[in-house]
Structure formats: structure tokens, C-alpha cells
Amino acid sequence: MNDFAHLAVTRASLDNCVKCTICETQCPVMAVTSKFPGPKYIGPQAERFRNGESVDHSLDYCSGCGICTLSCPQGVQIAELNAQARAVMKEDHMPLRDQLVSRTTVMGALMTPVAPLANGALRIKPLRKIVQAIVGIHEDAPMPVANGRTFEAWFNKRPKRTTPAPRGALVFFHGCAGEYFEVETSIKSVEVLEHIGYEVLVPKQGCCGLAQQSNGLFDTATKAVLKLCDELTSAGKDLTIISSSGSCTGMLKHEAHEIMGVDDSRLKDVGTRIRDISEFLLELHDQGELPEDFQRIEQVVPYHAPCQLKSQGMGLPVIPLLELIPGLTVVESGANCCGIAGTYGLKKEKYEIAQAVGKPLFDMVKATNEGLAVCDTETCRWQIRKGTGVQVEHPVWLIHKAYGLS
């Protein structure tokens, strides 16, 4: 049973709600569908009436994007309340689909050795129709493209570093997507960090459990996140941990603690040591320690900051970072969410909503791109690629290029 979700202290924050409607104006789901009554109603208002059973199942339409919590001036943890209530609501009848999409490592590991086959299979319409009918993943939903090699395989096959790293060691956390699907982003991140003088350590590591958390599977997610903390710490106790997986970073920084109530010194330790790669590089710049011998890139690049990155409350480090590159102009999407919100937009009953949420963003990217858009989180990139046909990559690709590494 999800004890924390039942008893959560997050509940206490509901009394701070002054019914100002600020969260409602920002909720991306409420904006596009009348099926979802919005954060104020489904969060602090409905929570008063919950005692185990949820009074209103429209709760399931909350995508968990966290934009409401971010915008609330009164500190109500709306998205967290919703996530806990959903975990309780679905406790005894979790759909097979929600269990499946949340097992990112399993999906990735199964697909990698047979990548061409898996990619082919996911693109075959009749097969996707069957998948939709049986497990409820929408036939048109964006799916990851499995890579022929894993990041780990690349990392382990490289010649070892022979010169000492002048800036010392960092730990790299690649996340499941960075291991199996978005392998290039992981590689480029490591190469950038090495280029500026760090030794990069990559301990063997599993999944952070984010997808399970967002689907209400708190027990499995808790085990996963703690195991990951041990693995990341095994590389060195006080080292800074860097990740280019925007949403998984958020899971370690705050979501595991705030949503699932994981109160463990290992998580606390890792949560304070982990940095998003752009956050880290911008910090170096602010301290005057980032090498800025960037090559010119004469380009306008649309940038979408994923909801789960914004939720980390650090602003948008990508914009000032990328604009250190001469010639580069970044245009912020201004969209609160791309619609996918982790695994939300894959589900057949949410697919249309997720597409509608993404529409203004897709239009913006189509109108402003010159062949490339950037975004920090994997699933969002899949969603934007699918919605626009434009190449969408992690911002570190541009840093990598500007350092002359690609």
C-alpha cells in the first residue's frame, strides 16, 4: 500500500489555498479540454473530501506536469497532492498499460539488441492498432527510437584517458533514455565535460523510477530510486553528479521526496549533489570558470523548457548558456508543457488532449526553426519531433558543436 500517499503531509498545504485561480490559468490540460476541472478543484478542493476513495475520477486527467505547483504563490503542492491521490485511486486496479509504459529499463533493454526490428515493429500501423486495443497506448503516440548501441557499450569501449583531468572527477547519470534511446546526447554530454577538463565517471546504474512514480506505482519506484542513489554514490562520495536527462534529475532532486515521501539520507545526499548539465555549465560561467572559446553558430533555435525542468525552480539556464555562443539566438517556446508529460500522452484516452496541449508549441517550433529545435527532456523531444517533423535535440548538442567537438 502507498502509505505516504494515504497519509501525506502534503495535504497540509491545501489550507494555504486562497482560491486565487492562478494555477487554473496556467494548467495546460484545463486549457484544452472540458473533461478536466483543473488544479484548484482537483487539488486542494477535492482533497478535503478524500478519505481513501477519490470523489472524482477526472483526477486521472491531470498530467502531473507540475506547472500548477510552480505558479501557485501560496505554496500549495497541487501536483504532488494529485499524484498521491492518483496513486491511491489506482492502487488495486492499475492498468497493465500503466505498468508497462512505466518500465523504461525493461522496454529499452528489450528493444536494444533488436533495435532495427523494434523500430520497425513500432512503426507498423496494424501492430500499433493491436497494441492500442490491448494495452491502451495510442497508435499514433510518439515512440522512442531504439539505438543500435547502448551508451554504456560506447563508454566502456573507449580508450582510457591517459592525462590527468585538471578539474577533477564528476559522476554522469544517463537515465534510461540516455542509456538506450538518446545515446548521442549522453555521449556529447560526456565529451563536453571531458573537453572542459573533467574526468567523467559512469557507474553502472538503473532507472530512477520516475515513470512508475507518475503512474502511481510508488513501491517499485521507491526501490528503484534508492538503488540508483547507491549506484551513483558508488563512484565517489562527494562528487557532483551531472545529468542531461531533465526529468530524471527532477525525480532525484525533489519528486521522490515530495511526491512519494522517500525520506532517506541516501536520496537527500544525491538530491543535493545532482545538477542538470546546463545548470552546471551556467554555474561555471557565473563563476568565470567556463571556457568560452565557442565557435560561431549563426542560427535561430527554438527552445522548449520541459515542465519537469521548470519545476526544479532554477529558472531556464539553457537560454543564457546557449547565448554565450556567438551568432546563436534562442527563442523560448513560452509553452508551459508539450503535452507528453512523461507517459501521459502515450495513453489512448489522453492522446488527443496531449496533442492539443502541444499544438501551440508545435506551431511555434515550425514557425521559428532553422532546421533544429532544442529541449532538455527525452520524451518531450519525441513528442515535438513527432508533432513537427523537425530535428529536436538536447541543448548540449549545440555546446558540443560550438566547442568544435562535432
Partner 1 sequence: MSTPHVVVIGSGLAGLTAAHRLMAGGARVTLVTKGLGGLQLSQGTIDVLGYAPGRVERPLESLASLPAEHPYRTIGAEAVATALGYLTDVVVDDLLAGEAAQNVWLPTAVGAVRPTALAQPSMLGGQCVRGARFVIVGPKQLKDFHPALIAGNLARTDLPDGGRLDARPASFDLPGRDHEVDSSGLTYARALDDPAFRARFAAAVKPLVEPGESVGLPGILGLKDRNAWRALQDLIGHPIFEIPLPPPSVPGMRLNETLTNGLKAARARFILGSKVVGFAADGDVLRSVTLGEAGRQVVIAADAFVLAAGGFESGALDMDSYGVVTDTIFGLPLVGLDAPLIHGDYWGAAQPVFAAGVAVDSSMRVLDGDRVVYANLRAAGGVLAGAQRWQELSGDGIAAASAVIAADSILGGRA
**Single residue of 100, 193, 229, 274 touching partner 1 by CB under 8 A:** 274
CB of 336 to ligand SF4, least distance (A): 7
Q: How far is CA 373 from the centre of its chain?
A: 17
Q: How far is the CB of 124 from ligand SF4 (least distance, A)?
A: 32
Task: Tell the smallest beta-carbon distance from residue 276 to partner 1 (Å).
Answer: 10
Residue whose C-alpha is closest to residue 390's, from 299, 292, 313: 299
| Residue pair 205/225 in contact by the 8 Å Cβ criterion | no
Task: Report the partner that residue 319 touches, choosing among partner 1, ligand SF4, none (CB closer than 5 to 8 A by kind).
Answer: partner 1
- Nearest Cα residue to 41 out of 24, 53, 60, 29: 24
Residues forming beta bridges with residue 329, ordered by sequence position: 300
Please, which residue, 24 or 139, has the CB nearer to ligand SF4? 24
* Helix, strand and coil in the chain, % to nearest 5: 55, 10, 40
Binding to partner 1 in span 312-341, by CB under 8 A: 312-316, 319-320, 323, 332, 334
Q: Which residues bind ligand SF4 (CB under 6 A)?
A: 17-23, 27, 29, 39-40, 44, 62-68, 72, 74, 76, 78-79, 82
Query: Who's near 274: CB < 8 A, 6+ residues apart?
Result: 173, 232, 240, 241, 242, 243, 249, 252, 253
Name, in order, each residue with C-beta under 8 angstroms of 406's C-beta and a sequence gap of 6 or more.
188, 397, 400
CB nearer partner 1, residue 32 or residue 87:
32
Amino acid identity of 62? C
* The only residue of 55, 56, 58, 70 in contact with partner 1, by rule CB under 8 A: 70
The radius of gyration of the chain from alpha carbons, rounded to an integer in Å, stands at 21
The distance of closest approach from Cβ of residue 43 to partner 1 in the complex, given in angstroms and rounded to an integer, is 14
65 contact, one of ligand SF4, partner 1, none, CB 5-8 Å limit per kind: ligand SF4
Binding residue for partner 1 (CB under 8 A) from 65, 72, 322, 364?
Answer: 72
- Least distance (Å) between residue 57 CB and ligand SF4: 14
The window from 68-76, 148-156, 164-172, 185-193 that contacts partner 1 (CB under 8 A) reads 68-76
Minimum CB separation of residue 322 from partner 1 in Å reads 12
Binding partner at 326 among ligand SF4, partner 1, none, C-beta below 5 to 8 Å by kind: none
Three-state DSSP state, 10: helix
Task: Identify the DSSP state of 9.
Answer: G
Confirm or reject binding of residue 364 to partner 1 (CB under 8 A). no
Question: Least distance in Å: CB of 69 to ligand SF4?
Answer: 7
75 binds partner 1 (CB under 8 A): yes
d(CA 154, CA 167): 23
At 380, which amino acid appears? C
First to last CA, the chain: 49
